[in-house]
Amino acid sequence: MPLVRQLARRYARTGEPLDDLVQAGCVGLIAAVDRWDPGRGRPFEAYAVPTIVGAMRHHLRDRAPALRTPRRAGATPAVMLPLDDDLPGADDPIAAADDRLALALALRRLPHHERRIVVLALFGDRSHRAIADDLGLSQVHVSRLLRSAIVRLRCALADAPVVGADDPA
């Protein structure tokens, strides 16, 4: 049991209660006791640790949400720009048209390859893997390019003047 508690403390930072981890570890310990063969000359601890850790990991995996968000998106909520007039919150068709125009102008400021990736990902509903296969890039590179392009779009949209506003000049 002290070995199980020690191993459970490794996973305490996952947010799962320590008692639940210890309980899952005990199930692994019982499985290790049942399957351990002393005649093979291997110490019990060397056999039991991977079995106990495996039971804890299975428990954590079973309790994990079905849909996982990327780590970098965990603290930052996604902000999307309404593109259709029939979406809730687009009561003013002029404001919605202004938003679409501002987005189109911001997209034109992006380099061609970044613009293509943004359009495929956001408007074409393509996965990073599918875009990478189409463009002959790695999925990681597509993810990095998309992330930097979205940052550029946000900056461009934040700096964009209101379309149709009277200039005080």
CATH 1.10.10.10 in the chain is located at: 73-159
Domain with CATH 1.10.1740.10 in the chain: 2-63
Select from 3.40.1190.10, 2.40.50.140, 1.10.1740.10, 3.40.50.970 the CATH code of 2-63: 1.10.1740.10
In angstroms, the CA 69 to CA 139 distance is 16
Predicted pLDDT at 85? 47
Q: At what angle do helices 18-35 and 2-10 cross, to 10 degrees?
A: 130
Contact 49, 3 (CB under 8 A): yes
Per the CB < 8 A criterion, the answer to whether 56 and 27 are in contact is no
52-70 pLDDT, tens digit per residue, is 999 999 998 888 766 566 6
Mean pLDDT by 10 residues, the chain (169 residues): 91 84 93 90 90 92 69 50 49 74 86 89 86 90 91 81 46
Residues 132, 139 contacting (CB under 8 angstroms): yes
Query: Quick one: pLDDT at residue 142?
Result: 92
The CATH architecture one would assign to domain 73-159 is: Orthogonal Bundle (1.10)
Long-range contacts of 82-90 (CB under 8 A, 24+ apart): none
Crossing angle of helices 44-63/2-10, nearest 10°?
50
Question: What pLDDT shows up at residue 79?
Answer: 47
**In the chain, what's the furthest Cα-to-Cα distance?**
92
